[in-house]
């Protein structure tokens, strides 16, 4: 290296302030524009004149230490080193230009060439000395600066813009770390553009108007010195992530810590661990006025910023917009579920629909583990499928080691497949149960795998729902059976012979014969060990089924009792006297007589709070069981309401006018009317509904499936060939997987029988 040039630069620095980047820029640009034959002396005169002008301006505006601003030939604009310590006094940057082969090279460039040969170890030592040396910091800082400037390019055009680069290094702690990391990645000859980040929110009280550079306040110098005293391995940000714009940058009063919550997009990038992935857009320094523009932008209000961004996007070229997308999109592709505690992650997943939850399980292994959570699927089963216990299913023969299947999830999937079978599964040939000859099936019960049918042939039959075989025939009544109830192994029947009988379903034995009524036992309701019967003798009787004892007799109706409900506390009865009565069976007193119907009451529903009665007067009335007041009168049917079912404030009513209606008894509003081109063509005989479906039967010989929520017709489950010419579906009973229909005819066109349809699936 030319020692004269270095010593000349040193002497120049000792004599006064060194020539700054402005001087170097003048030299480089002059040599670039001057023909090769121009005399170097003319360049020196021109350079000296420019240095004096710059010196006058800097004396008025800068806050450099008085000792550093003493007179001299040339004044250089202060450079911000990677450590952003106090500005140096001499570094050899003001060395006269050397001309080699027609190429103009400054002494600073030659120093860089020698610096590149020294290696990275000297650089780290000089960084520590730079912050601990006091009055000698200037020269060492300039050496570090010129070493970093190597990555901006070694040609003259880069040197012309060096004075603008100083703004880009205003954040002292991060700049040094960025250059060290990029030096390892790019190598000694790699090009690097300083980051364009700035802290627009921090007032720039030390702005140099001639160059846009900022001087660091003394508290920041002390902060940096404390960090560097710990050794070269200490980093300013413990997270190892680049900081971004915001209040965490150093201010005039010290260093501000990271904010707890990201407030800018830069904070989000840092929080996502992508602060160091900021793209190196170009090798040129930052444009003049960028920092001022950023400060102006930061001072605007939210709407003003949006307007500015909108205008900026409109003025961008497609390549610029593409770059924006490449920067922004990755920040919104974070797997936030894996960052949450398991409890919160499960809470978030609980809002997903089951089908979405199944898809989420295919995302990754961790999501699959969460999506298999047993409690998560238990809630789905209870809320959406109405499953209170996991259904029994066959264990898988092959199971992946270390992986456990959720029984609740399997239950939900099974139920979903069953619902799908109800909606659109193939209708396999039903099991046909024959035994009542050509008599009418008057009552039907279905519980578990046991079916009980009562007929006007004076008998009851017990059937297997699985095999379709008749297990036993219950014989003993001397008149037709018109009512029945079943719970577990107990069957109770009421007959035109004015008696009730209690049967053992397993053995077929008659346990008790209950005497007391003086006419046909037309209706009954069983609750635990107590059954309440209603008769055409206008009375109700309360019986203990275990002992066969009549506990209470309820008298008050003046006509036949047609329907009865019992919840263990209150008895509600409807009769042909147009009345509905609420009873206390323990005291045998009538608590309320619900008056309002103008014709016979044929159907009742009672949920412990509301009483719903259907009458031949075409109306349905909703009553408060405690006060006896009529809450709503539901109108819309045109004839006798023959059947009703009430669950969770939803009422489904079937009428002899061939329509079915769905009501909200809290508001009295009709939610749906099941009609249209596929509606029944004759009186509705029976109905049943669950969370998803409504099943209805009719005198037209069909059983139809409807959607409860939308009221849309789904399909026909049963269609008798004799439908419309005498074939009738008298009764239906359904479980989760099976449908039992009692069919026949009044004119002999259809054989009396039971049809069992199975919608179950095998879980292999």
Indicate the length of the chain as a whole number. 764
491, 503 contact by CB (below 8 A): yes
pLDDT class for 519, splitting at 50, 70, 90? very high
Please give the average per-residue pLDDT across 639-658, as a whole number: 95
3-state helix, strand, coil in the chain (%, to 5): 30, 25, 40
> Does the pLDDT at position 306 exceed 60?
yes
> Does the pLDDT at position 363 exceed 60?
yes
Q: First CA to last CA across the chain, in angstroms?
A: 84
The percent of residues above 90 in pLDDT, for the chain, comes to: 42
pLDDT-wise least confident of 255-259, 570-574, 754-758:
255-259
pLDDT class for 365, splitting at 50, 70, 90? confident
Please give the average per-residue pLDDT across 417-434, as a whole number: 90
pLDDT-wise least confident of 337-346, 489-498, 725-734:
337-346
> Does the pLDDT at position 171 exceed 50?
no
Q: What is the pLDDT of residue 357?
A: 81
Instruction: Dump pLDDT digits (tens) for 261-293.
Output: 556 666 666 666 555 555 555 567 778 888 888
Instruction: Dump pLDDT digits (tens) for 434-491.
Output: 999 889 999 999 998 999 999 999 999 999 999 999 999 999 999 999 999 999 999 9
Q: What is the 3-state secondary structure (H, E, C) of 557-568?
A: CCCCEEEEEECC
757 strand-pairing partners: 739
**How many CB atoms neighbour CB 303 within 10 A?**
8
Please give the average per-residue pLDDT across 608-612, as a whole number: 97
> Does the pLDDT at position 118 exceed 80?
no
702, 720 contact by CB (below 8 A): yes
Looking at per-residue pLDDT, the higher value among 325 and 602 belongs to 602
Looking at per-residue pLDDT, the higher value among 297 and 613 belongs to 613
Reading the block at residue 424, the tokens are 């659109």
CA-to-CA separations, 5 to 110, 136, 678, in angstroms, rounded: 9, 20, 103
CA-to-CA separations, 312 to 315, 666, 719, in angstroms, rounded: 5, 57, 69
Strand order in the sheet with 580-584: 561-566, 571-575, 580-584, 589-594
Q: What is the pLDDT of residue 376?
A: 77
Reading the block at residue 187, the tokens are 């190598």
pLDDT class for 625, splitting at 50, 70, 90? very high
Say how far residue 598 (Cα) sits from the centre of its chain: 53
pLDDT-wise least confident of 113-117, 201-205, 330-334, 558-562:
201-205
Q: What is the pLDDT of residue 515?
A: 97
Please give the average per-residue pLDDT across 113-138, as a whole number: 49
Sign for the CA dihedral angle at 662, 665, 667, 668 comes to: positive
Domains of the chain: 3-198+206-243 (no CATH), 336-424 (1.20.1280.50), 516-635 (2.130.10.10)
How high is the mean pLDDT of the chain?
Answer: 73
pLDDT-wise least confident of 90-94, 420-424, 473-477, 680-684:
90-94
Phi, psi of 729 (to 5 degrees): -105, 110
Task: Identify the top-confidence range among 372-381, 437-446, 755-764.
Answer: 437-446
Instruction: Dump pLDDT digits (tens) for 81-109.
Output: 334 443 443 344 444 444 444 444 444 54
Q: How far apart are CA 635 and CA 611, in angstroms?
A: 16
Q: What is the pLDDT of residue 99?
A: 40
Looking at per-residue pLDDT, the higher value among 376 and 94 belongs to 376
Q: Closest Cα partner for 437 from 750, 697, 31?
A: 750
pLDDT-wise least confident of 323-337, 453-467, 585-599, 708-722:
323-337
Q: What is the pLDDT of residue 289?
A: 85
Instruction: Dump pLDDT digits (tens) for 29-85.
Output: 444 444 444 444 555 555 566 666 556 655 555 544 444 444 444 434 444 433 444
Q: What is the 3-state secondary structure (H, E, C) of 244-295?
A: CCCCCCCECCECCCCCCCCCCHHHHHHHCCCHHHCCCCCCCCCCCCHHHHHH
Sign for the CA dihedral angle at 719, 721, 726, 729 comes to: negative
Q: What is the pLDDT of residue 94?
A: 42
pLDDT class for 621, splitting at 50, 70, 90? very high
Please give the average per-residue pLDDT across 383-401, as a whole number: 55
Please give the average per-residue pLDDT across 310-332, as a whole number: 84
């Amino acid at each position: 290296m030319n020692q004269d040039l270095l010593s000349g630069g040193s002497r120049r620095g000792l004599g006064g302030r060194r020539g700054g980047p402005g001087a170097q820029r003048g030299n480089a640009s002059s040599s670039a524009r001057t023909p090769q034959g121009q005399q170097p002396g003319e360049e020196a005169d021109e350079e000296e004149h420019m240095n004096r002008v710059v010196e006058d301006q800097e004396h008025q505006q800068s806050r450099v230490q008085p000792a550093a601003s003493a007179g001299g030939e040339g004044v250089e604009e202060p450079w911000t080193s990677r450590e952003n310590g106090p500005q140096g006094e001499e570094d050899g940057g003001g060395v006269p230009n050397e001309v080699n082969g027609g190429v103009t090279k400054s002494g600073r460039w030659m120093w860089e060439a020698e610096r590149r040969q020294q290696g990275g170890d000297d650089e780290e030592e000089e960084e520590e000395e730079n912050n601990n040396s006091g009055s000698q910091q200037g020269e060492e800082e300039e050496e570090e600066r010129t070493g970093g400037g190597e990555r901006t390019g070694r040609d003259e055009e880069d040197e012309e813009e060096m004075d603008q680069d100083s703004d880009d290094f205003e954040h002292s702690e991060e700049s040094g770390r960025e250059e060290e990391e990029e030096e390892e990645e790019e190598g000694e000859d790699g090009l690097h553009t300083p980051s364009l980040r700035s802290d627009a929110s921090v007032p720039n009280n030390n702005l140099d108007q001639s160059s846009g550079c900022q001087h660091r306040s003394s508290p920041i110098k002390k902060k940096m010195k404390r960090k560097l005293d710990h050794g070269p391995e200490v980093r300013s940000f413990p997270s190892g992530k680049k900081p971004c714009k915001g209040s965490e940058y150093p201010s005039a009063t010290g260093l501000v810590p990271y904010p707890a919550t990201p407030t800018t997009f830069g904070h989000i990038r840092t929080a996502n661990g992508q602060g160091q992935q900021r793209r190196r857009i170009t090798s040129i320094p930052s444009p003049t006025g960028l920092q001022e523009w950023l400060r102006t932008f930061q001072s605007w209000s939210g709407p003003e910023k949006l307007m500015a961004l909108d205008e900026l996007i409109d003025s961008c070229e497609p390549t610029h917009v593409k770059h924006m997308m490449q920067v922004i999109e990755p920040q919104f592709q974070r797997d936030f579920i894996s960052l949450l505690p398991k409890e919160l992650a499960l809470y978030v997943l609980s809002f997903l629909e089951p089908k979405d939850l199944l898809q989420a399980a295919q995302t990754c292994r961790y999501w699959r583990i969460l999506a298999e959570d047993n409690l998560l699927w238990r809630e789905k089963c209870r809320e959406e499928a109405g499953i209170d216990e996991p259904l029994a299913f066959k264990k898988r023969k092959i199971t992946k080691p270390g992986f456990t299947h959720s029984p609740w999830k399997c239950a939900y999937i099974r139920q979903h497949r069953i619902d799908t079978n109800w909606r659109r599964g193939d209708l396999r040939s039903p099991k046909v149960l024959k035994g009542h000859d050509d008599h009418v099936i008057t009552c039907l019960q279905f519980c578990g795998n046991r079916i009980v049918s009562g007929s006007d042939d004076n008998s009851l039959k017990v059937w297997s729902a699985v095999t379709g075989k008749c297990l036993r025939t219950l014989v003993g009544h001397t008149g037709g059976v018109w009512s029945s109830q079943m719970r577990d192994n107990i069957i109770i029947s009421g007959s035109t012979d004015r008696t009730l009988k209690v049967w053992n379903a397993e053995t077929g034995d008659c346990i008790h014969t209950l005497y007391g009524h003086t006419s046909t036992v037309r209706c009954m309701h069983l609750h635990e060990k107590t059954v309440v019967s209603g008769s055409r003798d206008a009375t109700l009787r309360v019986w203990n089924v275990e002992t066969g004892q009549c506990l209470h007799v309820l008298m008050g109706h003046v006509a036949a009792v047609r329907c009865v409900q019992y919840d263990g506390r209150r008895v509600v009865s409807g009769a042909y006297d147009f009345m509905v009565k609420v009873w206390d069976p323990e005291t045998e007193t009538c608590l309320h007589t619900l008056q309002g119907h103008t014709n016979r009451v044929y159907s009742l529903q009672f949920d412990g709070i509301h009483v719903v009665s259907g009458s031949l007067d075409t109306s349905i009335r909703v009553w408060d069981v405690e006060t006896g007041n009529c809450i709503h009168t539901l109108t819309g049917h045109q004839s006798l309401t023959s059947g009703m079912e009430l669950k969770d404030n939803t009422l489904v009513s079937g009428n002899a006018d061939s329509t079915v209606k769905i009501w909200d008894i809290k508001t009295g509003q009709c939610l749906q009317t099941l009609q249209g081109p596929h509606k029944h063509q004759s009186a509705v005989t029976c109905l049943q509904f669950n969370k998803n479906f409504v099943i209805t039967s009719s005198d037209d010989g069909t059983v139809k499936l409807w959607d409860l929520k939308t009221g849309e017709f789904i399909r026909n489950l049963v269609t008798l060939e004799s439908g419309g010419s005498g074939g009738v579906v008298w009764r239906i009973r359904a479980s989760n997987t099976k449908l039992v229909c009692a069919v026949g005819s009044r004119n002999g066109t259809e054989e009396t029988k039971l049809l069992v349809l199975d919608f179950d699936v095998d879980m292999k």
